[in-house]
Amino acid sequence: MPPVSLASIESTGTNYLHHIEANHFVLDTDEPAKLGGQGAGPAPFDYYLASLAACTAITLRMYAQRKGWELGRFRAELALTRDDDGRLHVHRVLRSDQPLTDEQWKRLLEIVANTPVTKAMREGAEISSARGDAL
């Protein structure tokens, strides 16, 4: 089965700062100083939320274009929290500078509940690991 996406990460020798290569894009990740990092890049959970935010915005823009709806300037604000049992919760708030009807908002909220990344996060993914050859 062909991969949907590919990414790799390599250490930099500076505590938790790492370089990520996703497709042909290079990103950095780090932990905040309070966790021993340098704060030189988004932390892993920042990327977790960012991937959901990106999928949210792109999916809704595609849907609105197909429907001929003008989303105008669109914004999705996401917050990740952990409850007393340690379970993660994501809350998404959607905003547009266009006067969308209640029916349009209702449909957009239905669509956003089923974006590809939303489904992957909600349903989970099987994760396997293997040892590779030396660098």
Instruction: Report which of 79, 28, 22 is spatially closest to residue 53, judged by C-alpha positions.
Output: 79
Instruction: Report which of 65, 64, 61 is spatially closest to residue 76, judged by C-alpha positions.
Output: 61
- The answer to whether residue 18 is domain-embedded is yes
For residues 24 and 55, membership in a common domain is answered with no
Q: What is the model's pLDDT at position 1? A: 85
The set of residues, in sequence order, having a beta carbon less than 8 Å from that of 63 and lying 6+ positions away, is 108, 111
pTM metric for this prediction:
0.90
Q: What is the model's pLDDT at position 135? A: 85
> pLDDT tens track of the chain, all 135 residues?
888 899 999 999 888 999 999 999 999 999 999 999 999 999 999 999 999 999 999 999 999 999 999 999 999 999 999 999 999 999 999 999 999 999 999 999 999 999 999 999 999 989 999 999 988
Domain with 14, as residue range(s), is 1-42
For residues 22 and 76, membership in a common domain is answered with no
CA distance 9 to 28: 9
**Tokens representing residue 3 in the block:** 């991969």
Instruction: Report which of 111, 89, 85 is spatially closest to residue 100, judged by C-alpha positions.
Output: 111
**Tokens representing residue 95 in the block:** 């905003």
Contact assessment for residue 19 and residue 42, using Cβ atoms and an 8 Å cutoff: no
Burial class for 65, CB neighbours closer than 10 Å (0-12, 13-18, 19+)? exposed
For residues 94 and 58, membership in a common domain is answered with yes
- The answer to whether residue 133 is domain-embedded is no
For residues 115 and 52, membership in a common domain is answered with yes
Question: How many domains does the chain divide into?
Answer: 2
For residues 36 and 48, membership in a common domain is answered with no
